[in-house]
Structure 1
Amino acid sequence: MMTDTTPHPLSLRGFLMLVLAGSAATIAFELYGEVISPLLGGSRLAPVPLAGSVFKALSGFQSREAANFLHYFAGCIGYPLGFALVARPLWQKFMPGLRWALVAVAFGIVQWVFALYVMAHLIAGQAPFLGFTGITWAALWGHILYALVAIGLTHHFLLKRSA
């Protein structure tokens, strides 16, 4: 039987690993959204304008700087902490035998729903899932890629090395 010696996500080591994994995943998301999706004939992702509309809905102010901060904070810190503090404990409790890649795909889909339904629609007032246009599906694949990179790195650096 293996003992879980994974550092707590709020310890300095755990938090730094989450930020590094989230940063790498954000780079992958940006590369996919700005380069790969358009090269494959898909839509270009526009997460910063979406974050800007959320910021404006919540504050009444338009700020590109705040939109950039919101987008990068969510990618580098928010989503990784959400995984570590909510999704990972649920995974370990209810489906500990499930492979990390399947958990990552599910987490990516949850992120996609959160971004395109909760944030874009419920908060910013845009069409649900941005009207199910090309950007909707590019965002789905972008969020799945993000989650695969973030959770893959987290799994490798935090779980494999501590086992």
Structure 2
Amino acid sequence: MTSIASNSRPAASLPALNFNTLGLMFISGFFATIAFDFWGQILSPALGFANLSPHGLAQSLLGSLGLPNNAFAGYFVHFYVVGLIGYPVGWMFIFAPLWQRIIGTTHWLLPSAIYGFGLWVFAIGGITSLAGLPFFLNFTGIVWVALVGHVLYGIVLVAMLELIRSRNG
């Protein structure tokens, strides 16, 4: 059995399931989540826009599912489950391979921004409804701050992946 090095794998293939991939997910997800939270909880309110509370959405979802929904659980789900694992998995194992297969090779900026937009639709359009909140939170100011935050997340996530990959050869 012959294995193909990750640098020579076809563009539309999935990443290897190993510690390197897990490390890429955690590092890129960490910086993307920090950028998201910096925008939504520090910069946006400082500019007079809404203050994001993604842990609050996670708490609402957990409560609607009958699970513990204290502040720790909300932060844990937002930062670890979603930011470090869920959204990076979505990019690396679903969106990026589909983009490569359907669209082909492009610069990473456009698909990363589209991915962020998709995350916004998923989180604010879908998860809010599952959590028993109004659809797209009735399009209040927080929705538009969340749009910028999710697109920023997607861009930072992929920028970090590209930076790490370029440094590793």
Q: TM-score, normalised by structure 1?
A: 0.90
Do the aligned partners of 2:62 and 2:69 also contact (CA within 8 Å) in 1? yes
Which residue matches 1:34? 41
User: Which of the residues 4, 25, 48 maps onto 2:9?
Assistant: 4
1:77-129, Cα deviation, whole Å (9 max, x unpaired): 110011111001101111123221100110001100111111101x1111111
- For the residue of structure 2 that corresponds to 1:59, the secondary structure is coil
- For the residue of structure 2 that corresponds to 1:98, the secondary structure is coil
% identical equivalent positions: 34
- For the residue of structure 1 that corresponds to 2:33, the secondary structure is helix
Number of residues of Structure 1 aligned to a counterpart in Structure 2: 160
Give 1:10 deviation, angstroms. Answer: 2.2
Give 1:34 deviation, angstroms. Answer: 1.1
Give 1:8 deviation, angstroms. Answer: 2.5
Do the aligned partners of 1:9 and 1:81 also contact (CA within 8 Å) in 2? no
User: Which of the residues 50, 54, 67 maps onto 1:43?
Assistant: 50
Long gaps (5+) in structure 1: none
Do the aligned partners of 2:41 and 2:51 also contact (CA within 8 Å) in 1? yes
Give 1:161 deviation, angstroms. Answer: 4.5
> Is the counterpart of residue 93 in structure 1 residue 101 in structure 2?
yes
Do the aligned partners of 2:15 and 2:93 also contact (CA within 8 Å) in 1? no
1:40-99, Cα deviation, whole Å (9 max, x unpaired): 221110101110000001125432221111111201111001111100110111112322
Displacement over 6 Å in runs of 4+: none
Q: CA RMSD in A?
A: 2.0
What is the rounded CA distance, in whole Å, between the counterparts of 1:75 and 1:55 in structure 2? 16
- Aligned pair in 2 of structure 1 residues 127, 9: CA closer, same or farther (>3 Å)? farther
Do the aligned partners of 2:36 and 2:153 also contact (CA within 8 Å) in 1? yes
What is the rounded CA distance, in whole Å, between the counterparts of 2:65 and 2:9 in structure 1? 40
What is the rounded CA distance, in whole Å, between the counterparts of 2:118 and 2:85 in structure 1? 16
Q: Which has the higher contact order (CA 8 A, sep 6+)?
A: 1
User: Which of the residues 12, 15, 19 maps onto 2:26?
Assistant: 19
